[in-house]
Amino acid sequence: MKTISTTLLLLCASTVWAQPTMDGTLDAVYGSANAVQNTQTSFGDSDIGMPDFANGSEIDAGYAIIDGVYLYIMLPGNLESTFNKIDIFIDARSGGQHTLRSDNPDIDFDGLNRMGDDGSGKNGLTFDTGFEADMWVSMTCGGDVFATYANYAELHTTGAGFGEYIGAGSSGSAGVIFGKTGFMLALDNSNVSGVGFGEGTGCGEGVTTGIEIAIPLSLFDWDGLAGDITSAKICAFINNGGHDYMSNQVIGGIGGGGTLEDPRFVNFELIEGNQYFTIGEAAEPCPIATGACCVDISCSDITSDDCIGIGGEYNGDGSFCNGDPAPCAPEPCEGDVNGDGVVNVADILTVIGNWGCAQ
């Protein structure tokens, strides 16, 4: 009798342990990453190290699991506490939107529709081939007293689904947003590693804190036709406060490159690789680090070996051509008073013309 009750206890305990704790920290039950970031962040590299406020945004990896009732998503990284947005699109059932429409619910100051077609039928955020989003979830954070906020919407094939403000919270396990529909969203902004600032390739491996979300699978079944949901594809990216300026932080990564800008004109079909990840998928290994390589004043973002191969000067891993100051820019000419790039008689005449000037 004792053996049976012990077995039952163990069974119950293992069932409880199989679910992630909602706190913004990676749990063992997520297994290995489904995607790892391969691009440095153009939206700031947070170095504060606090669970709430952050001074940069990045998505370092993507994890997702389904436990039969919930879809759990863990996105290690940071969400800058200036009301930057993380936009998450999920393809988990038949139908949905391959190109985002403009007649979805007016949620978050119409931020969802700001990413969609402008009414011309010629644009709208477009996902990779085969990805037809069924739900949008977005989270943001900031304020003098730190707070998190979340919104979501159904993405029906023909638009006009249901959507609503989910609620507010704060950081860590004590700050989870609990929506009345069963949504749970947690944030831990402590990360100070992962990818650095820039536009070159990077590696998001090893980050264990960030955004953690639980979505009741029943919310995908608005018409009773969803069937059993056993897998899902997830596309997530960092956007600015108005959902109208997309960073280069997309998961799956874009393979190095700058800010993607107006999401309405972003087409992930035209960017190499999958800008989404799938439950159960093994992440691609991190790319070999690149840096700015100067051959005289021409610059390219390549690997150290490739730079040496073309006789260039390598500026170090993580440096990039669009950096400030630009790595390969010529030294300014001393004596170039009028700043036209040459030192000649025009500079002398400028000096003579201003002779005696004193302030």
Q: Is 110 in the site for Ca ion (CB under 5 A)?
A: no
Min dist CB 133 to Ca ion, Å, is 7
Q: Find the residue with minimal CB distance to Ca ion.
A: 96
| 121 SS3 class | coil
Q: Is 134 in the site for Ca ion (CB under 5 A)?
A: yes
Q: Contact region for Ca ion (CB under 5 A) — 147-155, 161-169, 220-228, 271-279?
A: 271-279
Q: Is 45 in the site for Ca ion (CB under 5 A)?
A: yes
Comparing C-alpha atoms, which of 105, 106, 101, 26 is closest to residue 60?
A: 26
Residue 313: C-alpha distances to residues 204, 296, 300 (Å): 26, 9, 10
Q: Which is nearer to Ca ion, 82 or 299 (CB)?
A: 82
- Please tell me the count of residues contacting Ca ion according to CB under 5 A: 16
- In terms of DSSP H, where are the helices of the chain? 2-17, 111-115, 304-309, 345-353
Q: Is 152 in the site for Ca ion (CB under 5 A)?
A: no
Q: Contact region for Ca ion (CB under 5 A) — 5-13, 91-99, 227-235, 258-266?
A: 91-99
| 11 SS3 class | helix
Min dist CB 265 to Ca ion, Å, is 15
Distance CA 343, CA 332 (A): 10
Min dist CB 346 to Ca ion, Å, is 47
Min dist CB 335 to Ca ion, Å, is 42
Sites for Ca ion among residues 230-269 (CB under 5 A): 268
Ramachandran sector of residue 44 (left: φ over 0; alpha: ψ -120 to 50; beta: rest):
left
Distance CA 106, CA 26 (A): 32
Min dist CB 121 to Ca ion, Å, is 21
> Per-residue string for binding with Ca ion, 188-207, x by CB under 5 A?
------x-------------
Q: Which is nearer to Ca ion, 166 or 213 (CB)?
A: 213
Min dist CB 8 to Ca ion, Å, is 26
Distance CA 135, CA 85 (A): 16
- Residue by residue, DSSP assigns 197-261 as BSSSB---TT--BEEEEEEEGGGG-TTS--------EEEEEEE-TTS-SEEEEEES--SS----B
> Per-residue string for binding with Ca ion, 14-43, x by CB under 5 A?
------xx-x-x-x----------------
Distance CA 71, CA 1 (A): 37
Using CB under 5 A, pick the residue from 52, 80, 91, 188 that binds Ca ion: 91
Min dist CB 79 to Ca ion, Å, is 12
Comparing C-alpha atoms, which of 76, 331, 351 is closest to residue 189?
A: 76
Distance CA 56, CA 120 (A): 34
Binding residues (CB under 5 A) for Ca ion: these are 20-21, 23, 25, 27, 45, 91, 96, 128, 132, 134, 194, 212, 268, 271, 275
